[in-house]
Chain A
């Protein structure tokens, strides 16, 4: 059935739906944008305002200048890039292999292994024991202390397993007939068919690692190894840093808000880019033939 903007009987329902949907999304956009706009306006306002304003009362980019001219932000930025990329890579390896194994319903001990993983989502040791384990593993003050516990993410693994379960069984059977080992099946069939899954779970990893604060604060006491997020947090929360900003004639509130904007900026660009993989997801019809 072709789409057409018309009120003729056969198109009426569809057209009315489209209008309603458009109105709905306009409302959603306004609701989403108003608070974000407030942060954006405040970041460009070199005056302390309390309340909403459509435009900054005293427009200025001083706050952004102050953030970007701080030489001490370059290194944390690189640390963030490194831990995010490494963590996402390790995370995707762990969760795809784990998901591939647990997907197989005939695997002896499958239930026990699933339970072994799920148990860790519910029961946890707490901060002090985790710290002591990290210390015993000699991982304190290394990036592995941040990367490894975050890469081993059961939530993501189970989601990945759910995607793998949607791949038709017949594909595995024909692969087995062709003499593929499970590892080859995994690499040649499962991964190429799971782009949407890899993109979305990869996004989950990337976001969690990029905005990671807790692990850095607890496991990395050496401030020279801190990431971007921690530095921005200091800018947002540290009273001393804010008092310093105001002594420079930059409104401390604009610095806070600029830091917030800088922190979300990468994601505003990342998602539209990743959506490319969402449309070329598993196309089972094509594979079957």
Chain B
């Protein structure tokens, strides 16, 4: 009896595992690919504790890289703060704008117009950031004279809204709002793709039932559409949160010398460090990267827990 006791759950467990044998089999390719292409390179995370150039074997430096970034580099903390505020605002806005735009597109009844709108709003995603930046520099240009100033400043001065053209991208007060606007311009349409796909998979039954209950369009949206989108919303939010610390190219192409401190984020900080001195040293950047990852991990876990409490579902 006493010996049989512990084997029983084990048997049951084995039986359960056996029941799911096909599942594990199906998961095998995913497991293998993840292991090969993501886990094997992760050995490189150890370089955060080394001094490492391609020319010599890595040499162990303990916590020195972290001491450097935490205590000896004021620029690191500025960049860290900027990263958090800029990308969290950006994420919040992106979720809000994408969902709203999807709901409004969904209200267009003409099928041709609907498709045309969807396509137009998603096209800017395919312009690279370099191109987007160069176009917006021109549109927002203050210009040396009225003839060379950009569309926006020409409009503002023509109607007497400002006395002197605004140098939007070189003014620390304007830079963040303008950055957020350009990001939304480029990515909102792309963000709607997943929500529009979700909207189409809502069962028409639900709307019929709501109509029978006498719900108008607005009620239907509140009681049917939004709850049905909630899961996708949470999943997309958490997935994007995991990338929140990676803000890079969009900032790099829009920042300039005059607003360098106000706009430097962690990725551009590391990039500038590398590009300026061509140090070919990978230890310190890896340490900054690891720091980023730990913060992102904390954000994801917090959001996941909150979502489980409120919504009953997270992604882990």
Contacts and interface: CB of A to CB of B under 8 A. Distances in A.
Given A50-B138, A123-B297, A107 B20 contact: yes
Contacts of B31: 113, 116
A29 B128 CA distance: 20
Interface stretch (A63-71, A72-80, A274-282): A274-282
Interface stretch (A146-154, A220-228, A238-246): A146-154
A177 interface: no
Contacts of A97: 26-27, 29-30
A64 B174 CA distance: 38
A51 B31 CA distance: 52
Contact of A111 (B24, B243, B316): B316
A123 B22 contact: no
B33 to A, nearest CB: 4
A115 B44 CA distance: 20
Given A51-B150, A118-B316, A133 B40 contact: yes
Nearest to B289: A126
A59 to B, nearest CB: 20
A260 B41 contact: no
A32 B189 contact: yes
Instruction: Categorize the interface residue count of chain A.
Output: 35 or more
Given A24-B104, A101-B27, A152 B115 contact: no
B30 A94 contact: yes
Contacts of A18: 107
Contacts of B239: 121, 155, 158-159
Given A129-B42, A264-B123, A271-B119, A39 B135 contact: yes
Contacts of B232: 159, 162
B229 to A, nearest CB: 11
A51 B232 CA distance: 41
B34 A52 contact: no
B26 A182 contact: yes
A186 B33 CA distance: 21
A6 interface: no
A247 B223 CA distance: 64
B43 A260 contact: no
Interface residues of B, number: 90
A285 B209 CA distance: 12
Given A39-B127, A126-B41, A98 B118 contact: no
Given A32-B189, A118-B242, A159-B235, A126 B282 contact: yes
A61 B9 CA distance: 75
A159 B33 contact: no
A268 interface: yes
B45 interface: yes
Contacts of A25: 104, 108, 117
Given A129-B42, A130-B41, A137-B36, A21 B231 contact: no
Contacts of B89: none
A161 to B, nearest CB: 8
Nearest to B131: A260
Contact of A108 (B16, B43, B282): B16
B26 to A, nearest CB: 5
Contact of B39 (A104, A115, A120): A120
A179 B289 CA distance: 50
Contacts of B236: 159
A32 B124 contact: yes
A137 B109 CA distance: 52
Interface stretch (B73-81, B199-207, B253-261): B199-207
B270 to A, nearest CB: 11
A115 B203 CA distance: 31
B30 A157 contact: yes
Given A128-B54, A152-B34, A121 B242 contact: yes
Contacts of A7: none
Given A107-B20, A128-B44, A182-B22, A29 B242 contact: no
B197 A200 contact: yes
B216 A1 contact: yes
Given A123-B297, A126-B289, 20 more contacts: A1-B216, A28-B117, A36-B123, A52-B139, A94-B29, A95-B30, A101-B23, A101-B26, A107-B23, A118-B300, A121-B243, A122-B297, A124-B38, A125-B38, A125-B40, A128-B44, A152-B37, A200-B193, A200-B194, A279-B200
16 contacts: A17-B217, A32-B185, A98-B26, A113-B31, A116-B34, A123-B297, A126-B41, A126-B47, A130-B41, A159-B194, A162-B235, A196-B197, A264-B127, A267-B122, A281-B201, A282-B201
Interface of A: 1, 3, 13-14, 17-18, 21, 24-25, 28-29, 31-36, 38-39, 50-52, 93-95, 97-98, 100-102, 104, 107-108, 111, 113-118, 120-126, 128-130, 132-133, 137, 148-149, 151-152, 154-155, 157-159, 162-163, 165-166, 181-183, 186, 196-197, 199-200, 203-204, 207, 211, 236-237, 260, 263-264, 267-268, 271-272, 275, 278-279, 281-285
Interface of B: 13, 16-17, 20, 22-24, 26-27, 29-31, 33-34, 36-45, 47, 54, 101, 104, 107-109, 115-128, 130-132, 135-136, 138-139, 141, 148, 150-151, 185, 189, 193-194, 196-198, 200-201, 203-205, 211, 216-218, 231-232, 235-236, 239, 242-243, 282, 285-286, 289-290, 293, 296-297, 300, 315-316
A-B interface, 4 closest residue pairs, ranked by CB to CB distance from nearest: A129-B44, A125-B41, A125-B44, A120-B38
